[in-house]
Structure 1
Amino acid sequence: MSSDQLPTVQRLRPQGLVNSPAFSHVAIVPPGVTTIYVGGQNAVDADGHLVGQDDVAVQSARALANARTALAAAGATLSDVVQWTVLFVDGADLGAGYGAIASELASDEPPLVMAARVAGLGVPGALVEISAVAAVVH
C-alpha cells in the first residue's frame, strides 16, 4: 500500500462547537490502524519514587515524559495520540501544570483532551496523572 493510500486518523472540530487550537472534539480511527492505550502516568522515576514533590510543573513534565516512554515502547510518539486524559489534584495550579507540557502537546490537528480535578491519586503526593490513547498507522 502506498503512503497516499494509508489510512489516516481524522481529528475534527465541527462547526457549532468551540474551535480551540488546544483540542479537537472527535477522532475517527479507521480499520487497519493499531490502537494503543497508555495507563495513567504519574511523576515517578524508574524506581517508583515521586519526582517534583509539591511542584505541579515538574510533576507534569515527568508524567508526560513517562507517557512518552510508554508510547515509544509500543512504537508510538506524542503525535500519534488521539486522546489525552489529564487529572489534577484539587488545589494544583492548572496554569503551571499545563504550561509545563503545552508546547509538547501542540499540534495542527490537536488530540481530544479530557481534564478533571480529583480529590487524590493513587501515588501519595502525586499532583497529576496523564493517560493516553494513540493510533499508529502501519
Structure 2
Amino acid sequence: MSTFTMGHINPEGLFRSEAFSQAITVTGRAKTIYIGGQNAINSKGELIGVGDLELQTKQALHNIKTILAAENASFADLVKLNIYLVSGSDPLVGYKAFQEMTGSLDNPPLVTVLFVSEFTSRPSCLLEIDGIAVIEGKD
C-alpha cells in the first residue's frame, strides 16, 4: 500500500490537455527526485544529434529515464518538467519525440517550456530538460 497519494489537478474552467496537467499534489510519505538539467550528452560526453532537435530530445529523455530507473521510478512518476529550447526551435518536434519516448501517460506531468538564446556551456545544444519526480519513500 502506498504511503503517499499523487493527485493530478485539472479543475473545471481551465484547459484540459493530454500533454500536461495544471497542478499536482503529493500527500504523505514520499521520496522526491530532483533531476538536474539534461541535454543531449551521452555517457561518453558526446553531443548526440548536432542540429537535430528530435535526436537531442530523445537523448535528453534517455538521460532522464536512466536517472529515474536508478531510483526505481519511471516517466509516470514525473511531477514537473521544465524544458528550455533554443529560440527558433519547433516545440512540436520535441513533443513528438517526447510522445515516442514516454508513450501516452494517464496523468502527464506539469510542463513549462521556455525559449533561450543559447546554452553557453554547450552552444550546439538545442534543449535542456530538468524535472521533479515523486515516488514512495522508505518508512
Q: What TM-score, normalized by structure 2, do the two folds share?
A: 0.90
Shift of 1:55: 0.4
Alignment of 1:1-138 (within 5 A): 3=1, 6-103=3-100, 104=102, 106-121=104-119, 122-138=121-137
C-alpha separation between the residues in 2 aligned to 1:80 and 1:66? Answer: 15
The superposition leaves residues 60-105 of structure 1 with CA deviations (integer Å, 9 ceiling, x where unpaired) of 0000000111112222211110111111101112221211112416
For the residue of structure 1 that corresponds to 2:27, the secondary structure is: coil
CA RMSD of aligned residues (A): 1.4
Unaligned runs of 5+ in 1: none
Stretches of 4+ aligned residues off by more than 2 angstroms: none
Q: Which structure shows the bigger proportion of residues in strand conformation?
A: 2
User: Aligned AA for 1:63?
Assistant: A
User: Aligned AA for 1:128?
Assistant: L
Shift of 1:16: 1.2
Q: What TM-score, normalized by structure 1, do the two folds share?
A: 0.90
C-alpha separation between the residues in 1 aligned to 2:103 and 2:19? Answer: 8
Shift of 1:123: 2.0
User: Aligned AA for 1:132?
Assistant: G
C-alpha separation between the residues in 1 aligned to 2:105 and 2:37? Answer: 22
- Whether the aligned pair in 1 keeps the contact of 2:83 and 2:130 (CA below 8 Å) is yes
